[in-house]
Structure 1
C-alpha cells in the first residue's frame, strides 16, 4: 500500500518555508539598522507581558512597536497596558547568541517573539489609551495578572512554584535546581502547558457531560470556557494553542458527523499557527510540541486498533485488569515516543537522555494530572475571595496542604532520577544506539514497504554509519580538551584529559552551575565531575561548584588550606569574609558524602593522566584577604603548561615569587579578571606566557580588565583572549600540538 501524502503536510511545508524566508530577512534587516547611541523613541505596546507573582513593582518585559514599525522588547519598571502609547529615551541592542556551548541564546528568544531590538529605557512617559476594543483586548492580560498577583500567597508557598508551572506554565519561580532536576528526569515537558494538561483538565469534564442528560449545545457551552482556560492563563503558548485548536476541531466532528484524519488536522493547525505568528518557528517549544503531538497521535492510532481486537477476547472480569495494564503500557509508549521524537531538542537542555524517564513518567503523570486538575478549581475559588482576608488565608492554607503530598512526591521522584547517574545516556552514545535501533527495525517484518524493498541498501548505509560514528566517538584519541567558560564576572575552567578524567577549576557565580557548566559539560559527554577545585571561597568562583554538589555531580572536592582560626580556635588571625562560601561548600559536601581535600603549596596532585603542582598558598591561611590566598596551580596538559592564578593579588604574587617555585607557563589565566592590583610587571616577566586568557564579564561594574593591567599584558604577552569579547575559549591539545578557538569570533 502506497503512502498517501496528506494535503496538510504540503500546506505546512509551504507556510513554514515562506515564514522562514520572510521573517529571517526582516529580522536581519532590523538588526543592521540598530542605532549606535541613545535615541528618543515612541511607540505602542503590542504585548503587555506579565510580572512574577508577588512582585510589587510589577516590572516586566513588554513589546513595543515603534513609530517606524520596528518592534522592540523593553524592560519596563512601570509597565503600560496593551494599546497604550509610550515614549522616552533608550539605548537599544540586539540579542546575543549563546556565549558558551549549550548556553541560552537571547537572540533566538527575541526572534521567536518577532523582535530584533531590546533595551532598558532611561526615561519613559506613558499615555493611557481607552476604548471598548482595547478593553476587550486587555481582558486576557487582566485575567493573567489577577491570577498571578491575587493568588501570590499560593504561588509563593513551599510547593507554589511547581503548581504555578504545572497549571499556568510560568516557571519563573522555579529555582535553577528544580529546573535541572525536572529536565534531567524528563519531566520538564509537564511544566509547559500543552495537550497533556488539556487532557488532565478536560477528560473529567467530557466524562461528566457525556453521562449527563443535557443537550449537545449545552455541553459545548460548558466545555468551551474550560477548554480555553489553560490557554488564557498561560498566554497562548505554542503547545496549548496547538492542543486547543485540535481539540476544538475534534469536538466539531460530532455535530458535523465527520471523522478528520488526526495527522492532517495537526499539520493544518500548525500552518494556521505559523500564518498568525510566523516567528514561532524560531522557538524550540513550537517544534517540540508539534513533533511530540505527531508521535503521540501515531501511538494512539496504533494502540487503539490493537486494544480493540484484544477487548473482544476478554470477559467482563478481565476487562478491568486489561484497562489498568493498558494504562501503564500506553503511558510508557507515549512517553517513549514523545522523548524519541524530541530527542534533538531534549539534548539542548539536559546532560543526556535518562533511560528511566519513560518509566518515571508513568508515576509522575498521574501526580501532575491530579495537581493540574485540582489547581484550576482552586484558582477559580481563590480569585473571588478578597486578598489578605482571613478566609483567603485559610483557603490557601487548606488547598496547599491538600496538594502538598503530591507535590512533594513529584519533586522527590525528579530528584531521585536526576541523581541516578548510571542511567544517563551521554550524547556520544545516542547516535550509535539510534543506528542500532534502525538496523533492528529494518530486519523486522514491521518495517515499511520502502524499507523492506531497499533493505540491503538501508542496512549497508546504517551499518557503515554505525562503524564510522563508533570509531569517531570511542576509538579516536581526542587528546586534552580545556574550556575556559564565560561565566560573567567569575571563573570556571573545565579540563578533560585524554582518558576522560574531568577536573573543574572554579564554577562561577550563582546559577552558572546549572545554566553554563552542566550544558557545556554535556557537549563533551561529561555526566560527572571527577575533581572540583575551588581557588578561594568568593561566590563568583564557588557558587557554581555548590550547585553541582547539591545535585550529586561532583566526586571529590578540593579547597584552599584551612584557616588558622579553624585549626586553633583561640587565635583570631583573620577577619571572616562574609562572602566566604568555604564552610557552605564543606557542609554540602559532607551531606552528599563527597570527600574534601585541602591543597597547599608544595603538593603535587596526580589522578590518572592529570597532574598539577600547587604553588600557593603555603600552610594555613592567615591573611585578611581571600584573594591573596587564592590557589595557584601549575598544570601540565600534554606538554603544554597552564598557570591558573584565581584572584591572586599583588601581595600574593610577591609571596609566590619569593618562594622560588617555577612559575613559567605557556598559557596564563590572568588573576582577578584583569584587576589593576594584579598581573604586575615582575610577575608577568617571571611567567613569560605566550597566551593570556582573561575571564571577565561584559560591561562589568568594576571596570575589569583595567587599562593599566592590559598595558602590562600587551607588553609581555603576544596573544590576549577575553571571555567578554570571545565568549568561551577552547584549547585542544593532541599529540603535542595545540589549537585555540573561541565560541564567538572577536
Structure 2
C-alpha cells in the first residue's frame, strides 16, 4: 500500500476513534427530562458515562376505548424515544432505574426498558416491591437484577439522596420516592407525584433542603407545588412533564400563575419537547428540542400567555 493510502487510512481510523470516544465517553453530563407524553422519565448521566440513571419510565394510561382506537394506539414511546435516545448517547446499560410510585404513567414502560437495556437494579419506595402488578411487569421482562425497596434512611447512590418516603407505604402518590442531587452546580429535586401535605412533611424533616430546579409534582397539578414548599426550597426553575392535549389539563392554571408570581421560570415538555440540562464541572446550560412556538396551538392557554 502506498504511503498516501496509509495516511488516509490512519486519518479515517483517528476520526472513527474520536467519534467513538465522543459518543461513549463524553466529557459532559446531563439531566434530561424526556418528552414521554403524559408521564415522567428523567435521565441522569454523569461525565464519561460513569453513572447512568433513569427516574421513571413513562407509560401509557389506558381508558375504555372503542376497538378501532385500541388498534391504532399500540406505539411504545419508550422504544421510539427513550431507548433510541439512550443508544444514540452510547448508553446500553443503566446502573439504576428509580420508580417513584406505581402509577402507569411512571412505570408503564418498565418492561421495554428492562428488555432493551441492561439494568443492574430497580429502586422502588418501600412497599411497592410486594405489589402484584409491579411483580408482573418484572416477570414480563424476565428481569434478573436486584430490586431495592427504600425509605429516606437508605443511601444507595453517590449522586442522589432519598428524602421521601419516610416509612413503607402503598406506592401511591403520597408515598412517592423523592430524590435530591446536585449536577453542574445546580440543586435538583425530583418529586414524582408527591402531594402538598407530604411536601411540607419533607420541609419539616429536612429544613435545610434547597432546590434550584424542581421537577414539579404530579405534572404541574394543583395537588402539588405548595407555595411554602417552593418558597423554602428557593426554586428558580420549575419543570413540567406532561402530555399535549392531556385530559387532566396539566399543568394547572393555578400552579402556572403561582410560579409566575414567585418569579420561577417554567419549562414544560409540552412546549419545548425534550428538556436537557447539559453540564461540565459546576456550569451548565439548557437545551431543548423545540423552540417553544412550533406547536403553540397544542398548549394550554396558561402556557400561551
| TM-score over 0.5 for the pair | yes
In the TM superposition, what whole-angstrom CA distance separates every residue of 1:395-441 from its partner, at most 9, and x where no partner exists? xxxxxxxxxxxxxxxxxxxxxxxxxxxxxxxxxxxxxxxxxxxxxxx
State the alpha-carbon separation in 1 of the partners of residues 91 and 100 from structure 2: 22
Pair 1:520 & 2:63 matched: no
Question: 1:520 aligns to what SS in structure 2?
Answer: helix
Residues 548/453 of structure 1: CA separation in 2 closer, same or farther (3 Å cut)? same
What is the aligned partner in structure 2 of residue 39 from structure 1?
none
Say which of 616, 636, 648 aligns to 2:164. 616
Q: Indicate if the aligned counterparts of 2:56 and 2:106 stay in contact, CA closer than 8 A.
A: yes
What is the aligned partner in structure 2 of residue 600 from structure 1?
151
State the alpha-carbon separation in 2 of the partners of residues 534 and 727 from structure 1: 22
Question: 1:646 aligns to what SS in structure 2?
Answer: coil
State the alpha-carbon separation in 2 of the partners of residues 463 and 615 from structure 1: 48
Q: Pairwise mapping of residues 410-425 of structure 1 onto structure 2 (< 5 A)?
A: none
Question: 2:35 aligns to what SS in structure 1?
Answer: coil
TM-score normalised according to structure 1 size: 0.35
Say which of 654, 673, 676 aligns to 2:222. 676
Q: Indicate if the aligned counterparts of 1:617 and 1:632 stay in contact, CA closer than 8 A.
A: yes
What is the aligned partner in structure 1 of residue 190 from structure 2?
644
Pair 1:506 & 2:56 matched: yes
Pair 1:497 & 2:43 matched: no
Residues 513/463 of structure 1: CA separation in 2 closer, same or farther (3 Å cut)? closer
| Structure 1 segments unaligned to the other structure (5+ residues) | 1-442, 444-451, 567-575
What is the aligned partner in structure 1 of residue 107 from structure 2?
542
Residues 469/594 of structure 1: CA separation in 2 closer, same or farther (3 Å cut)? closer
Q: CA deviation at 1:594?
A: 1.5
Residues 561/483 of structure 1: CA separation in 2 closer, same or farther (3 Å cut)? same
What is the aligned partner in structure 2 of residue 582 from structure 1?
134
Q: Indicate if the aligned counterparts of 2:123 and 2:148 stay in contact, CA closer than 8 A.
A: yes
Q: Pairwise mapping of residues 587-736 of structure 1 onto structure 2 (< 5 A)?
A: 587-588=139-140, 591-606=142-157, 610-621=158-169, 626-736=172-282
Say which of 116, 122, 141 aligns to 1:557. 122
Higher strand share: 2
Q: Indicate if the aligned counterparts of 2:278 and 2:285 stay in contact, CA closer than 8 A.
A: yes
Q: Indicate if the aligned counterparts of 1:559 and 1:599 stay in contact, CA closer than 8 A.
A: yes
Higher helix share: 1
Between Structure 1 and Structure 2, whose CA radius of gyration is higher? 1
In the TM superposition, what whole-angstrom CA distance separates every residue of 1:437-493 from its partner, at most 9, and x where no partner exists? xxxxxx4xxxxxxxx796366346435534654664567x52222211011110000
CA RMSD for the aligned pairs? 2.6
Residues 561/472 of structure 1: CA separation in 2 closer, same or farther (3 Å cut)? closer
TM-score normalised according to structure 2 size: 0.81
Question: 1:654 aligns to what SS in structure 2?
Answer: helix
Residues 552/499 of structure 1: CA separation in 2 closer, same or farther (3 Å cut)? closer
Residues 736/583 of structure 1: CA separation in 2 closer, same or farther (3 Å cut)? same
State the alpha-carbon separation in 2 of the partners of residues 522 and 539 from structure 1: 24
Between the two proteins, the alignment pairs up a number of residues equal to 276
State the alpha-carbon separation in 2 of the partners of residues 479 and 593 from structure 1: 31
